[in-house]
Amino acid sequence: MENERTHIISALVLHKPGVLQRVAGLFTRRGFNIESITVGTSEQEGIARMTIIAKGDGKILEQITKQLNKIIDVIKVRDLEPEKTVKRELCLIKVHTPTEKIRSEVIQYANIFRGRIIDVSPETLTIEITGASDKIDALIDLVKTFGIKEIARTGPTAMSRGIKTI
Amino acid sequence: MRGGEALIKSLKDQEVDVVFGYPGGVLLPLYDVIYDSDMRHILVRHEQCAAHAADGYARASGKVGVCIGTSGPGATNLVTGIATAYMDSSPIVAIAGQVATGLIGNDAFQEVDTIGMTMPITKHNFQPMNSQEIPEIIKTAFYIAGTGRPGPVVVDLPKDVQEQELDMDKEVRIDLPGYKPTRKGHPLQIKRAANLIANSKKPVILAGGGVILSGSSEELIKLAGIIDAPVVTSLLGKGSFPEDHPFSLGMLGMHGTKTSNYMVDECDCLIAVGCRFSDRTTGNVAEFAKNAKIIHIDIDPAEIGKNVEVDIPIVGDAKITLSSLIKALNQNNTSGNTDEWMKYVQNFKRSSSPRTSFNDVPLKPQQVIKEIMNATDEETIVTTDVGLNQMWMAHYFKVKHPRTFLSSGGLGTMGFGFPAAMGAKVAKPETDVVAICGDGGFLMVSQDLATIKEYDIPVVICILDNRYLGMVAQWQKLFYEKRLSHTHLGEVPDFVKLAEAFGVSAYRVEKPGEVQETLKNAINSGEPTLIDITIDPEEILPMVPPGCGLTEMVGEYKIEIESADGVPYYREAEERAGD
């Protein structure tokens, strides 16, 4: 039996009310472990793409994909191979920056991580950063010492490298 | 045309000839249409019975059954019946009323989130938000319910949508990019399966409800004949293979026959068709068919490898796949391979057939079921409730044809038997229908005696009356030190008087021979009848305790052996079965 690992599941679904509930409900009901789920429009009108990050061994993953496929509003499901997949996450971090010194330090960190400052107030800076989840984790770790007011993460979205599509 | 009329017209387009329903506030527009319509509507006395009746109708006929309930409590009452149909892959379309679109989400009077509530217990559900969607939704609902692995579909119909005008001339299409059931098994897998079968010495076929749903009994019988293999079934598989056939070993599992449980344990090749390896069928999965390579044919890919690891999975419709498998096998020479095995199986079967004749008073359930078998013919449709009555029927009642044994397997819904029989009788008015119930389960749905009386639906209800919640009491006796917590059901009601209050003829039966006679008369009377049969409350059925392998049966297994001169004599098994 294959060991438990994190899987990136990409699914094309009909873009209509209730689809997210059907998918999320399935995970709860069957006891599957879900880490994140992102949904948005796809290249085709009326069809949305879901990226699900889930944990499990080979048998569980097989059940997840088969059960997802049984949902009438789900059109296609694929478990993306991690090494042949690009995966990105967006994160907004509001950092407490009461002094000029802290502010410039935070800006420097943001630059190193190719983040952008998208909002400034006398007390705070808000960083926008995109990338792999571990890169975002690293930046969060760095700025934590200054005091993080708020974090909003999207969870990863992903697609296969090269010409391959699902 | 308005939404309500469009709904009825769409149902007729699907060749629906009857609906089981119960009106309510938000369904007033629809019921106003039904008032003028020639659509047959049967007013049940509880929505759960509408759903079970639609289910019974579907199981007996193979057509999609339809039930209707109002919003809120109507819909929640339908839920048990919908979940029952879902677990047993029975095709029904349940129409639930909903509050007007403008009120949805406001916690309006009798509002409940029917869509959210039924998502995990339906194949799919719909909520038309304008009447123009109705024709397409109904057509699609029937298509989804009746194809692939069948199952229930819910249509949640807001009140105002029933009243809106729509254009009925628009083309109605089914557009389901995400729904394409695989019907034809993969040829390479079929070839591999044929090779495995041809090389096996001790094959067993396990037939499930999928054989009945796909109408492939003929193919199954042919397959068993070609490879010379015994056939065991799951509960829902009863009827897929004639149980008077010498190859039939009866039901497998927790309450299965000793022969089935032992032969599956010993076989070297298990050919499972249209079954889902439920825990009640397999016992401890680690011990299940541990000497066998397993071939699993099922139309639902998610069932393959879910509970039991299989060696050769084949996704496809049982009928099509079995035909291909038979063709592939004809090219392999299999004759003679299994002669020794078949001899062994037949000997085992003969020496472990359960005893069925008893003269005791109170009546032994085995004797009661024997008499029921004598009073009915092989076309008779029997339904069961859930519990000991069901397992006694599964164990002792020999079913010969598909769609003549209807029982709630997966969900195990007490109260299923009677309303399902009602639905079956409506589907097959020319066929005798007998409901075998326990006293507990029947009381859960007894109000529908009114329905069979008012509509003159002549089903015969046999209550195996032991005044106990028998199955639960059995577990308490075996596993909880005989502490019978809340399983004695007391001395009331008097079922004969209860039935008579509804104008239904009723009889009480207490002695051997009376069941057969009373039931025969009841069937011949052509009237709805209830027979209250007092049975021995101490009688239990040998079983495989949960978590054990199939050969670890407990309980006394009484054996019937035919002596050389053909006169049966009985031997109480001295040791406990399985030792």
Count of CB atoms situated within 10 Å of the CB of B395: 20
Q: What was the ipTM of the complex prediction?
A: 0.91
Looking up tokens 């089914």 gives B174
Are B159 and B196 members of one domain?
Answer: no
Q: What are the chain A neighbours of B120 within 8 Å (beta carbons)?
A: 25-26, 29
- Residue numbers of B annotated as active site: 47, 109-110, 159, 471
Residue A147 lies in a domain: yes
Mean pLDDT score, A9-30? 94
Identify whether the C-beta of residue B139 lies closer than 8 Å to the C-beta of residue B197: no
Are A71 and A101 members of one domain?
Answer: no
Q: Which of B404, B459, B411 is closest to B437 using CA atoms? A: B459
Mean pLDDT score, B30-54? 98
pLDDT band at residue A3 under the 50/70/90 scheme:
confident
pLDDT at B333: 66
Distance CA B549, CA B49 (A): 36
Are B413 and B494 members of one domain?
Answer: yes
Are A66 and A97 members of one domain?
Answer: no
Distance CA B482, CA B540 (A): 13
Are B489 and B387 members of one domain?
Answer: yes
Tokens of B558: 């009484």
Are A19 and A76 members of one domain?
Answer: yes
Distance CA A6, CA A54 (A): 6
User: Which amino acid, one-letter code, is at B402?
Assistant: P
pLDDT at A2: 55
- Window 132-151 of B: residues touching A by CB (8 A cutoff) are 144
Most confident range (mean pLDDT) of B342-351, B451-460, B562-571 is B451-460
| Phi/psi at A84 (5° precision) | -115, 30
A/B interface, count of CB pairs below 8 Å = 37
Mean pLDDT score, A138-150? 96
| Phi/psi at B61 (5° precision) | -105, -25
SS3 helix, strand, coil % of chain A, rounded to 5?
30, 45, 25
Looking up tokens 């949805």 gives B104
Q: What are the chain B neighbours of A76 within 8 Å (beta carbons)?
A: 178
Which residue among A63, A67, A72 sits closest to B124, beta carbon to beta carbon? Answer: A72
CATH for A93: 3.30.70.1150
Residue A126 lies in a domain: yes
Based on the structure, what is the number of domains in chain B? 3
Distance CA B120, CA A50 (A): 20
What percent of chain B stands above pLDDT 70?
96
Q: What are the chain A neighbours of B147 within 8 Å (beta carbons)?
A: none
pLDDT at B561 over 80: no
Identify whether the C-beta of residue B260 lies closer than 8 Å to the C-beta of residue B109: no
Contact between chains at B178 and A18 (C-beta distance less than 8 A): no
Tokens of A78: 């694929």
Residues paired with A10 in a beta bridge: A51, A78
The nearest alpha carbon in chain B to A46 belongs to B177
Residue B397: domain span = 365-534
Q: What are the chain A neighbours of B179 within 8 Å (beta carbons)?
A: 72
Identify whether the C-beta of residue B557 lies closer than 8 Å to the C-beta of residue B570: no
Q: What are the chain B neighbours of A29 within 8 Å (beta carbons)?
A: 120
A30 touches chain B (CB under 8 A): no
Mean pLDDT score, B230-251? 98
The nearest alpha carbon in chain B to A21 belongs to B116
Residue A110: domain span = 86-158
B116 touches chain A (CB under 8 A): yes
Distance CA A34, CA B230 (A): 44
Identify whether the C-beta of residue B29 lies closer than 8 Å to the C-beta of residue B99: no
Residue A90 lies in a domain: yes
pLDDT at B177: 95
pLDDT at B562: 55
Are A70 and A107 members of one domain?
Answer: no
Based on the structure, what is the number of domains in chain A? 2
Residue B417 lies in a domain: yes
The DSSP call for residue B51 is H
Distance CA B466, CA B470 (A): 7
Identify whether the C-beta of residue A8 lies closer than 8 Å to the C-beta of residue A82: yes
Q: Is the peptide bond before B362 cis (omega within 30 degrees of 0)?
A: yes
Strand pairing class (B231-233; B293-298): unpaired
A29 touches chain B (CB under 8 A): yes
Are A90 and A72 members of one domain?
Answer: no
CATH for A48: 3.30.70.260
Mean pLDDT score, B233-255? 97
Mean pLDDT score, B251-278? 97
pLDDT at B579 over 80: no
Q: How far is CA A10 from the centre of its chain?
A: 12
Distance CA B295, CA B198 (A): 13
Q: How far is CA B68 from the centre of its chain?
A: 21
Contact between chains at B302 and A21 (C-beta distance less than 8 A): no
- Window 65-124 of A: residues touching B by CB (8 A cutoff) are 66-67, 69-76
pLDDT digits (tens, 9 = 90+) for B111-160: 999 999 999 999 999 999 999 999 999 999 999 999 999 999 999 999 99
Angle between helices B388-396 and B365-375 (to 10 degrees): 60
B276 touches chain A (CB under 8 A): no
Tokens of B466: 């032991």
Residue A165 lies in a domain: no
